[in-house]
Amino acid sequence: MLNNITMGQYYPVDSKVHRLDPRVKLILTIVFIVTVFMARTFLGYAVILGFVWLTSRLANVPFRMLLRGLKPLRLIIILTFLLNLFFTTGETVWVEFWGIRITQEGFMQAAFYSLRLIFLVIGTSLLTLTTSPVALSDGIEILLSPLKVIHFPAHELAMMMTIALRFIPTLLEETDKIMKAQMARGADFESGNLLSRAKAMVPLLVPLFVSAFRRAGDLAMAMESRCYHGGEGRTRLRVLKITRNDWIACGAVAALLALIILEGIIF
Amino acid sequence: MHSDTRVQLNDVSYSYEEQATPALSGVSAVIQPGEFVAVLGHNGSGKSTMAKLLNALYVPTEGNVLVCGYDTREEKYVWEIRQRAGMIFQNPDNQIVATVVKEDVAFGLENLGVPTEEMLPRIESALSAVRMSKYADKAPHLLSGGQKQRVAIAGILAMEPSVIIADEATAMLDPSGRKEVLDTIRTLNRQKGITVVWITHFMEEAAQADRVLVVTDGQIRLEGTPAEVFDRVDEMREMHLDVPHMTALAGELRAEGMPLKPGILTVDEFVEEVERLCPLKSAT
């Protein structure tokens, strides 16, 4: 499974963290998110930082890979920081200009909330960096399968994810082909303002959609001819097994949660 | 029930809902175990419809289709039929489901509910039969067209079918890919005795079959060994089908009075026949 191509964020190395059961990792990530929300002080964050750093070391994932996940969210983080900085009322005024005052309380709160966001992103990045998309969809399918009782399509959802992953490279290749074909006939995808560039995409998207639908029809027929009839009575090639390491990971996260709760009580 | 025949079509007709003329009308054919039968026809002749009828993807509007003795009209046999009659499609990309080769081979087994411990050996032997073992952990989009089709064949093979139906499986491949896939299928046919229904519009491929069925306008017009079929040059031309170049040439020479024997398909056969008729004077 690790020979799988890099897709999304997945960082394909082998480690104890990578080998954890995806179900366990999914649940632990949720617990981690709760933990981040429960932290009350910067000391708590220091503990969480230590935990994240240790996990990234165990996972053989460089810490900067974790920080890279912050990039697309940097605007939101900065905005959170600034809004809290400017609009929190407090006693200790640091600077005052144009009727806005920056207080010490405001600064603390701004730092606190932006750190919370940062930890949430880093925590979930740890999951996506160490779990291949295929394993992830497996984990999601099994975790959601109790919901089948209320007719939630857990298997179908996972199958859709798998097929989407399978066809991303194929469709990318096709996009490239169509783009080159259009460029050869004088299409211009690069110059002009945003609007004209968006317009130039139309002759690219139309054939892409048409072909995607044709592919979907073909694939459905191929799946049926190979006896696909939904999730019922289906066995799996990959069987997920909880190992000792999974229990250790659970223990570690539980310890973290306990520490943070304790910190909330003491301080 | 004639379960001793692999595939049997009894006076089969099929019409698509939106079309007035039937895609197939009154087709009857019997395919024996272990046979390699080519179904030859140009686009829109009904040959692809015929393929889909053999896998219970379509159910005949009239007549019936028996696959290993199971009637495709009976809905309860649908999975039995599809397990026994595996199908390979034209587009290599659009029939691979999983993101890893061996998982794609497992797809059919998972659907059949085969226990996990049994899967791995079956996947391995299927992949080795198509000589793709070393690609087991690769992502399918990194493979060539011919390799993808071989993975598709392995996916069918793992389900242990009696019949493989290839619906223009080589139409989208380059010449070397085409040879790769046809050779694989021929080996499976010879070594494992799997019956093959090879649907194609390439004469050269049909020439390699045990028997050729020529389909035009939804009917089987000609039937026989490749040599028999291709010798009827005029009839083939009438149906807008080509014959192999050497067969055509032999036919024309025969019309001019040269006593060439019938059934010449390849250059080698042609040369041999010409040499027989006019032995070369020994070179000086």
Nearest chain B CA: its distance from A223 CA (Å): 7
Q: Is A160 on the interface with B (CB under 8 A)?
A: no
User: Would an 8 Å CB–CB cutoff place A5 in contact with chain B?
Assistant: yes
d(C-alpha A80, C-alpha A73), whole Å: 11
Asked if residue A90 and residue A220 are part of one domain, the reply reads no
What pLDDT was estimated at residue A155?
87
Please tell me whether residues A184 and A253 are part of one structural domain.
no
Secondary structure element (H or E) that encloses residue B71, with its range: strand B70-71
Q: What is the pLDDT of residue A1?
A: 32
Instruction: Compute the Cα dihedral for B221, B224, B211, B258 and give only its sign.
Output: negative
Q: Can you tell me the ipTM of this complex?
A: 0.84
With contacts defined as CB-CB under 8 Å, which chain B residues touch A10? none
Residue B252 half-sphere exposure toward CB, CA atoms < 13 A: 6
CA distance B180 to B190: 15
Nearest by CB to A166, from B79, B96, B112: name it: B96
Helix, strand, coil shares of chain A, percent, nearest 5, are: 70, 5, 25
SS (H, E, C) B171-208: CCCCHHHHHHHHHHHHHHHHHHCCEEEEEECCHHHHCC
In a shared domain, residues A218 and A124 = no
In a domain, A79, yes or no: yes
Segment (H or E) for B167: strand B163-167
Give SS3 for A88. Answer: coil
Q: Which pLDDT does position B35 carry in this prediction?
A: 92
> For every one of its 284 residues, what pLDDT tens digit does chain B have, with 9 covering 90 and above?
445 788 999 989 998 888 888 888 889 999 999 999 999 988 888 888 999 999 899 999 999 999 988 999 988 889 889 999 999 999 999 999 988 898 999 999 999 999 988 999 999 999 999 999 999 888 888 899 999 999 999 999 999 999 999 999 998 999 899 999 999 999 999 999 999 999 998 888 888 899 999 998 888 988 999 888 888 888 888 887 878 888 888 888 888 888 888 778 888 888 888 888 888 766 54
Substitution target from B93, B134, B135 for chain A, most A beta carbons within 10 A: B93
Same domain, A41 and A119: yes
Measured CA to CA, the distance from residue A56 to residue A62 in angstroms comes to 7
Asked, for residue A193, whether it belongs to a domain, the answer is yes
Q: How many angstroms separate the CA atoms of B71 and B78, rounded? A: 9
Rg (CA), chain B: 21
CB within 8 Å: B94 and A215: yes
Q: Determine which of A225, A229, A236 to mutate to test the interface with B (most B C-beta atoms within 10 Å).
A: A225
| A223 has a chain B CB within 8 A of its CB | yes
Mutate to test the interface with A, among B76, B97, B119 (most CBs of A within 10 A): B97
Q: Is A75 on the interface with B (CB under 8 A)?
A: no
Domain ranges, residue A214: 154-225
Contact A225 B155 (CB under 8 A): no
Residue A73 lies in a domain: yes
Give residue A185's pLDDT. Answer: 87
Residue B91 contacts A, CB cutoff 8 Å = yes
B96 touches chain A (CB under 8 A): yes
Compute the count of residue pairs across chains A and B with CB atoms less than 8 Å apart: 105
Residue B89 has its nearest CB partner, among A4, A173, A218, at A218
Q: How far is A171 from chain B (nearest CA, A)?
A: 10
User: Quick check: A224 contacting B, CB < 8 Å?
Assistant: yes
How would DSSP label each residue in B213-241?
A: EEEETTEEEEEE-HHHHHT-HHHHHHTT-
Hey, is the C-beta of B274 within 8 angstroms of any chain A C-beta?
no
Q: Contact at 8 Å (CB) between B197 and B31?
A: yes
Are B31 and B84 within 8 A, CB to CB?
Answer: no
A144, part of any domain: no
Mean pLDDT (10-residue bins), chain A, 267 residues: 46 82 90 89 88 88 82 87 83 75 84 90 87 84 86 87 86 88 84 82 88 93 90 82 87 87 80
Q: How far is CA A28 from CA A24, A25, A31, A256, B229, in A?
A: 6, 5, 5, 11, 68
Same domain for A186 and A86: no
Q: How many CB atoms lie within 10 A of CB A196?
A: 10
One domain for residues A206 and A125: no
Q: Are residues A114 and A170 in the same domain?
A: no
Q: Is A51 part of any domain?
A: yes
Assigned domain for A136 exists: no
Task: Give yes or no: residues A221 and A244 share one domain.
Answer: no
Give yes or no: residues A83 and A168 share one domain: no
Same domain? For A32 and A87 the reply is yes
Chain A residue whose CA is closest to B89: A222
CATH superfamily of B7-243: P-loop containing nucleotide triphosphate hydrolases (3.40.50.300)
* A161 and A117 fall within a common domain: no
pLDDT of residue A4: 36
CB B30 within 8 A of CB B68: no
The pLDDT value recorded for residue B153 is 94
Tally of domains within chain A: 2
Select from B149, B194, B161, B208 the least CA-distant residue to B55: B161
Would A140 be classed as within a structural domain?
no
